[in-house]
Amino acid sequence: MKGFTSKIVHSDRQDTIEHGSLHKPVHATVAYGYEDARDLAAVFQGAQRGFTYGRQVNPTVEALSTKISGMENGLASVCFGTGMAAIGTMLFALLRRGDHFVSSAYLFGNTNSLFMTFETQGIEVTFVDATDSGEVASAIRDNTKLVFVETIANPRTQVAALEEIGTLCAERNLVYVVDNTMTSPYLFQPSTVQASLVINSLTKYIGGHGNALGGAVTEMGHYDWLNFTNIYDTYRGSDPHLWAITQIKKKGLRDFGAALAPEAAHHIAVGAETLALRMDRQCANAQTMAEYLNGHALVERVYYPGLPEHPQFDRVAKLFRHPGALFSFELDSGVDIWEFMNRLQLIIKASNLGDNRTLAIPVAHTIYFEMGPERRASMGIDESLIRISVGIEEIDDLLEDLRTALGQDTG
């Protein structure tokens, strides 16, 4: 069984099937009881497989973790209550005061905010233009432990030099973290660029239906954690490839407690079954919409990696199955952003991305408002920038909505 979707829909059956159930059941429990107290102790001590307490383990959540490891072709995954919890817990579990890491400057806004918080806690970060691996290389210092990039940055769709940074990290013995949320494992496999750890916000494309929050970290097996001094002795088990993910789960989840609820895990697991089908449709819709707007007189600029003028068009064509399902654009200065947005009838004015429904948001005034005009300008975010997360609606309906919303400006 090799196909991406075959693996997902048959994943739960590879383990013990409870009552023949085709879906992993929702185990709504916090604790797990044992007949023999010695078994309880053995499970706590890691000598025996089993479950202890819901903050770190739950059978429904474990089944989803296994599914995500399969999708990413990784060794093991840990799930969290949100994507932010996955990023924050992973970094807090692996980095210490005095450490430094290099991050792409083109980041999801909340990740940017989190990294600013790290600065106040004695963990330093340097933001660089990660579309160029040379910029990453020149930011590396003696105390650099890790490099963090996203695949396609939201909202301006810059694409990091994923392959070259992978080579650089391998040469310099650095942990390479790739946030694969915007591409999902269906469009891009970070394993092919030697990623050490992969982040997915399950809230977005993997869950897909906008009905559950979740996040995951996956160990890819490429990094030799023998070289990483921040692993506690307790987590230096037999296979060094599993040291970091064990520390993230055992210490990170225990300390910070951002566990994924079993009900949310079930929603996400069901959503994941149609990831490939949804993304084929969403990406095709995005390509057509981006091309339409790109040719429109009232649109100043369109940012979509599927347009030949996009600076990383060739990189995307080489690395990704499709150029993604999200684009952004700037309106002509004569068009009022609020009037345009309020004329949209089908496309919903809402935050979030990766939903089955097409969503639009005026970026500078909402998700990037708090960071202020200077940092916005440094990230290339114009005041008129609108982000569209493309859904699975019929393309004719989507084009009609854009046409109507733009058409009235021509008077």
Ligand X SMILES: *Cc1c(COP(=O)(O)O)cnc(C)c1O
Q: What is the dihedral of CA 280, 281, 286, 287, to 10 degrees?
A: 60
* Shortest Å, Cβ 306 to ligand X: 18
193 vs 202: CA distance, rounded Å: 21
Stretch that binds ligand X, among 26-34, 132-140, 197-205, 269-277 (CB under 6 A): 197-205
- How many residues line the site for ligand X (CB under 6 A)? 15
111 vs 94: CA distance, rounded Å: 17
Stretch that binds ligand X, among 58-66, 201-209, 237-245, 296-304 (CB under 6 A): 201-209
Among 128, 182, 360, 390, binds ligand X (CB under 6 A): 182
- Of 6, 25, 5, which Cα lies nearest the Cα of 15? 25
Stretch that binds ligand X, among 40-48, 175-183, 227-235, 341-349 (CB under 6 A): 175-183
Q: Does 84 bind ligand X (CB under 6 A)?
A: yes
Stretch that binds ligand X, among 68-76, 77-85, 242-250, 287-295 (CB under 6 A): 77-85
* Shortest Å, Cβ 376 to ligand X: 17
Nearer to ligand X, 133 or 203 (CB): 203
Token representation of residue 149: 């990039």
Nearer to ligand X, 86 or 245 (CB): 86
Among 65, 82, 104, 389, binds ligand X (CB under 6 A): 82
Q: Does 204 bind ligand X (CB under 6 A)?
A: yes
Orientation of helix 275-294 relative to helix 395-407, angle to 10°: 30
154 vs 298: CA distance, rounded Å: 23
Cis peptide bond upstream of 59, omega within 30: no
DSSP secondary structure, 145-168, as one string:
EEEEEESB-TTT--B--HHHHHHH
237 vs 231: CA distance, rounded Å: 11
Residue of this chain nearest to ligand X (CB atom): 83
Q: Does 130 bind ligand X (CB under 6 A)?
A: no
The continuous run of DSSP H or E covering 107 comes out as none
Q: Does 181 bind ligand X (CB under 6 A)?
A: yes
Q: Which residues fall within 8 angstroms of residue 395, CB to CB, at 6 or more apart?
A: 284, 285, 288, 289
Q: Does 104 bind ligand X (CB under 6 A)?
A: no
Nearer to ligand X, 204 or 376 (CB): 204
Q: Where are the alpha helices (DSSP H) in 73-217?
A: 83-94, 109-120, 133-139, 162-172, 184-187
Q: Does 355 bind ligand X (CB under 6 A)?
A: no
Q: Does 203 bind ligand X (CB under 6 A)?
A: yes
Stretch that binds ligand X, among 91-99, 176-184, 268-276, 297-305 (CB under 6 A): 176-184
Place of tokens 């991050």: 103
* Shortest Å, Cβ 80 to ligand X: 8
Q: Does 157 bind ligand X (CB under 6 A)?
A: no
Q: Does 179 bind ligand X (CB under 6 A)?
A: yes
Q: Which residues fall within 8 angstroms of residue 396, CB to CB, at 6 or more apart?
A: none
Token representation of residue 75: 């060794």
Q: Does 213 bind ligand X (CB under 6 A)?
A: yes
Q: Which residues bind ligand X (CB under 6 A)?
A: 82-84, 108, 111, 150, 154, 179, 181-182, 201, 203-204, 213, 215
